[in-house]
Amino acid sequence: MSALELFASLSGCHWINGELQAGTSPSNYDVLDPATEQRIGELCDATREEVNQAIGIANQAQKRWNRTNALHRAEAMHEIAAEIRRQRPLFAEMLTREIGKTYKESFDEASWSATAVDYYAELGRHEIGRVAGPVVDGQFNFSLKEPLGVVVLILPFNYPLCLLCWQAAAALVAGNAVIIKPSELTSLTTLQFVQAFAGLGQGLVQVLTGGAEVGQQLVRHADTHMVAFTGGIETGRSIARECAGMYKRTLIETSGNDPFIVMPSAPIDIAARGAAFGAYLNCGQVCASSERFYVHEAVYDAFVERLIHHARCIRVGNGLDKVDMGPLASQGQRERYERILHRAIEQGARVGTGGGRPRGLDKGWFADATVLTDIAATMDIMHDESFGPVAPICKVASLDEALALSNDSRYGLGSTIYTTNLEESMRATHELEAGMVWVNAPLLDNDAGPFGGRKQSGMGRQLGAEGLDNFRHSKFVMMDPAASAQDFWWFPFRDEDAFPGQR
Ligand code: NAD
């Protein structure tokens, strides 16, 4: 079946109990290709009955899965990774048609999804607890890691496959079932993608489509046991609040407004290429996009000139063509981004290049790769997430100033510095208030290292050992194999332990 035929066959469905199930509510979202604005399918909100059905099935499936051994789970996960790799061309084409990113970016995303699944396949069986030194002679004391039960994944639109795998792989190897609520903008590709997990058994991985209401029902349901949310700050806040009221565990990964510092010792052309990648990858729709630039005055003019050059070289167009940047994901995303861009211009930013919509692309939600100069650190664009292809550049006089401005933010996701000065690298590493610091290496991820934010960019971590522990309870066990009397605690208390004074 072609990608377009698949979109038609997935329209209006959920993935419940190992099969596509036609939704019973009327379809209420058209799915549009952001490069052509053509309708490629439709979605519906899962009903309360469908939500209850999926949660009931997930709880049963989780109990079966939790009885399987760790090697079996590892082997099953490796097979999923292999299946994802086999189907990368299809997933990449579907993702590009549904969300606009270039085919290469979609293909890379499918590849990163597979590596995360392979990573957690092994990490999941590496250890499931630890032995503690006993506090009593002859005792055996240990902790066990146990699954939470049914984990709800609420996902954003920008990296729907790899974020799904970062979280689902960790949750599954820990013995959980997952229910995924994808973004309204990426549900059809997700419905196809999760079929790669079918070998795990029916009902262990399910997908319910729909909007905020469906997410809320999953969050509030008494029989879901954790919510892993990735998306905007305000949505994250409301989910964290709801879960706190129920003492339900959460992983909250939200927005970023990452700084990018350039110091005089940096190789300026390389730094500018790195900046173009950080600012324009996925049309600027990366949570850890480089969003605000603090460039030392000694190299400001040279850096601006090189970044303008690299921005002008970016070919914008349909992600299925030979281009470097596709459109923004939806009309709403472009309108939101353009409001932020126009506000910056109103506040005095000068357009170095771009600043509008590419000529000749009348259909589709395209935007220019844009460089803004004459930026004051107080401008709104330096304090809000733009989530679009813009690089606003602020001149600074010193590393102290760059670090202070970088940290003057409610966000704390990623951060980048370009310098070849060792002392500056170390200062930035220690002083930047962020979950990730990239020194001359913008926007890299490593499955083996924790990813996540500080401040309002989130609570908790994905990836690495930290990303696995989100999805596990610990249970501490103290065992006396000899069942000896514990006279040091038990009754009767000895008279010599009584209060020694006078009452
Ligand atoms: P969003 O907050 O609008 O939506 C995210 C998901 O939440 C969607 O599936 C949506 O349907 C659902 N949702 C919305 N309201 C809800 C509610 N009240 N209850 C339950 N679910 C609800 O975010 P988005 O626009 O899809 O994604 C973009 C944002 O995601 C950006 O801010 C970006 O920085 C952030 N993001 C963060 C990370 C990270 O790791 N920190 C990664 C990717 C994206």
Q: Which residues pair with 262 in a beta bridge?
A: 295, 418
Give the pLDDT score at 310: 98
| H/E run at residue 73 | helix 70-86
Instruction: Round to whole Å and give the CA distance between 46 and 428.
Output: 47
Give 322 Cα–ligand 1 centroid separation in angstroms.
30
**What is the residue whose two structure tokens read 């309708």?**
39
Give the pLDDT score at 417: 98
Instruction: Round to whole Å and give the CA distance between 74 and 211.
Output: 33
Give the CA radius of gyration of the chain: 25
Ligand 1 binding pocket includes 166 (Cβ within 6 Å): no
Ligand 1 binding pocket includes 413 (Cβ within 6 Å): yes
Tokens encoding 30: 């058209």
User: In Å, what is the CA distance from 277 to each residue of 154, 230, 259, 283, 494?
Assistant: 27, 22, 14, 10, 72
Ligand 1 binding pocket includes 73 (Cβ within 6 Å): no
Give the pLDDT score at 28: 81
Give 227 Cα–ligand 1 centroid separation in angstroms.
13
Sequence-separated (6 or more) residues with CB below 8 Å from residue 354? 311, 367, 368, 369, 370, 371, 389, 390
> Domain 3-254+471-476 carries which CATH code?
3.40.605.10
Instruction: Round to whole Å and give the CA distance between 84 and 153.
Output: 19
Hey, what amino acid is at 422? L
pTM of this prediction exceeds 0.75: yes
**What residues are labeled active site?**
253, 287
Half-sphere exposure of 463 (CA within 13 A, CB side): 19
Ligand 1 atom 9: the closest Cα is on which residue? 183
Backbone CA torsion sign across 190, 110, 235, 285: negative
**Maximum distance among all alpha carbons in the chain?**
96
Q: Is 439 helix (H, G, I), strand (E, B) or coil?
A: strand
CB 164 within 8 A of CB 153: yes
258-447 is classed CATH 3.40.309.10: yes
pLDDT tens, per residue, the chain with 503 residues: 999 999 999 999 999 999 999 999 987 899 999 999 999 999 999 999 999 999 999 999 999 999 999 999 999 999 999 999 999 999 999 999 999 999 999 999 999 999 999 999 999 999 999 999 999 999 999 999 999 999 999 999 999 999 999 999 999 999 999 999 999 999 999 999 999 999 999 999 999 999 999 999 999 999 999 999 999 999 999 999 999 999 999 999 999 999 999 999 999 999 999 999 999 999 999 999 999 999 999 999 999 999 999 999 999 999 999 999 999 999 999 999 999 999 999 999 999 999 999 999 999 999 999 999 999 999 999 999 999 999 999 999 999 999 999 999 999 999 999 999 999 999 999 999 999 999 999 999 999 999 999 999 999 999 999 999 999 999 999 999 999 999 989 999 999 999 999 98
Where are the CATH 3.40.605.10 domain residues in the chain?
3-254+471-476
CB 463 within 8 A of CB 451: yes
Ligand 1 binding pocket includes 239 (Cβ within 6 Å): yes
Instruction: Round to whole Å and give the CA distance between 227 and 210.
Output: 17
| H/E run at residue 458 | strand 458-459
Ligand 1 binding pocket includes 412 (Cβ within 6 Å): no
Sequence-separated (6 or more) residues with CB below 8 Å from residue 346? none
Q: How far is CA 118 from the centre of its chain?
A: 18
Q: How far is CA 299 from the centre of its chain?
A: 34
CA-angle at 276, arms to 275 and 280, nearest 5° = 120
Sequence-separated (6 or more) residues with CB below 8 Å from residue 258? 278, 288, 289, 290, 291, 292, 411, 413, 414, 415, 416, 434
CB 204 within 8 A of CB 177: yes
Give the pLDDT score at 215: 98
Give the pLDDT score at 26: 86
Where are the CATH 3.40.309.10 domain residues in the chain?
258-447
From the list 226, 297, 305, 224, the residue with the least C-alpha distance to 269 is 305
Among the atoms of ligand 1, which is closest to the Cα of residue 413?
41
Ligand 1 binding pocket includes 438 (Cβ within 6 Å): no
Instruction: Round to whole Å and give the CA distance between 106 and 186.
Output: 12
Instruction: Round to whole Å and give the CA distance between 73 and 121.
Output: 7
| Class of residue 108 by CB neighbours under 10 A (exposed 0-12, middle 13-18, buried 19+) | middle
Give 252 Cα–ligand 1 centroid separation in angstroms.
10
Q: How far is CA 98 from the centre of its chain?
A: 19
CB 226 within 8 A of CB 248: yes
Pocket test for ligand 1, best of 28, 183, 219, 457 (most atoms within 8 A of CB): 183
Instruction: Round to whole Å and give the CA distance between 191 and 98.
Output: 12
